[in-house]
């Protein structure tokens, strides 16, 4: 099927947003298209089923709280939904899933061995979920320098307007905080532009992931022509993008 390149190692087809950056790693990364609201497990499962990805597998949902907890999906009892914003697995039985709308889904793959999937917004980044996830994988024997990282479509610096109380968490990260002129629209005084991609790239590098193996989707959820779900565009309670990761 014809795929539209989203830039940064992602493409979109009618059925899914595809993390092409993970090609050849033995793991798949897919996110739901604008036509799918993945908020509910039943709807997310129906979408996963339509992709033919679920034969003999179990979907591993999380109760996302913008924290830094990363769980071992393979150790969870069936049906248990832990309070966490990331999970990893070494088993091809598990389909990891996170929900986002403006935050980033972040896949971390130790080729042919292990996959992790994280929900990363500014809060999760501020409390260190990326470092925690790389550490969890390293404890299982995955060398951070061998990981492939792919961050899915999220709100880019063109639209990510934040107050100084948010920006202050990231003022030591080069390129993270940008002047308001970077924003396409500004809704209130005293705000700046936050570059979540710069934060993710820096935190991955600090955790030992190679920059050459780090891919970040270029598309902005807020302003990419209504192609992607966006919390800031659609408002609270709006549809969510489901992102899944699994071993082939």
Positions that interact with Zn ion (CB under 5 A): 156, 158-159, 220, 222-223
| Strand residues in the chain grouped as ranges (E) | 4-5, 11-12, 17-18, 27-31, 58-60, 70-72, 86-89, 94-100, 104-110, 114-120, 148-151, 161-162, 177-178, 192-194, 214-216, 241-247
Could you give the maximum distance between any two Cα atoms of the chain, in Å? 52
Please identify, using beta-carbon distances, which residue of 139 and 185 lies nearer to Zn ion. Answer: 185
Contacts of 81 (CB under 8 A, 6+ apart): 61, 62, 63
Cβ 175 to Zn ion shortest distance, Å: 16
Task: Kindly compute the dihedral angle of the four CA atoms of residues 32, 72, 92, 116, in this order, to the nearest 10 degrees.
Answer: 50
Please identify, using beta-carbon distances, which residue of 121 and 245 lies nearer to Zn ion. Answer: 121
Cβ 17 to Zn ion shortest distance, Å: 16
Please identify, using beta-carbon distances, which residue of 141 and 226 lies nearer to Zn ion. Answer: 226
Please identify, using beta-carbon distances, which residue of 160 and 170 lies nearer to Zn ion. Answer: 160
Cβ 34 to Zn ion shortest distance, Å: 15
Cβ 7 to Zn ion shortest distance, Å: 13
């Amino acid at each position: 099927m014809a795929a539209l390149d989203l830039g940064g190692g992602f493409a979109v087809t009618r059925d899914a947003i595809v993390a092409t950056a993970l090609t050849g790693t033995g793991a798949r990364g897919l996110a739901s298209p604008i036509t799918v609201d993945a908020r509910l497990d039943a709807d997310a499962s129906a979408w996963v089923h339509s992709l033919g990805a679920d034969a003999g597998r179990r979907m591993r949902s999380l109760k996302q709280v913008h924290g830094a907890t990363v769980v071992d999906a393979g150790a969870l009892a069936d049906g248990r939904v832990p309070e966490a914003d990331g999970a990893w697995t070494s088993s091809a039985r598990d389909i990891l899933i996170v929900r986002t709308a403006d935050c980033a889904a972040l896949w971390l793959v130790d080729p042919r061995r292990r996959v992790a999937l994280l929900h990363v917004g500014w809060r999760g980044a501020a409390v260190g979920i990326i470092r925690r996830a790389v550490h969890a994988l390293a404890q299982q024997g995955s060398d951070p320098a061998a990981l492939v990282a792919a961050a899915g479509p999220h709100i880019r610096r063109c639209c990510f307007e934040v107050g100084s109380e948010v920006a202050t968490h990231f003022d030591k990260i080069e390129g993270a905080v940008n002047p308001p002129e970077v924003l396409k629209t500004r809704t209130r005084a005293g705000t700046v532009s936050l570059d979540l991609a710069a934060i993710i790239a820096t935190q991955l590098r600090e955790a030992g992931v190679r920059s050459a193996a780090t891919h970040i989707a270029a598309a902005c959820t807020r302003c990419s022509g209504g192609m992607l779900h966006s919390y800031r565009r659609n408002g609270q309670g709006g549809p969510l993008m489901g992102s899944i990761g699994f071993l082939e």
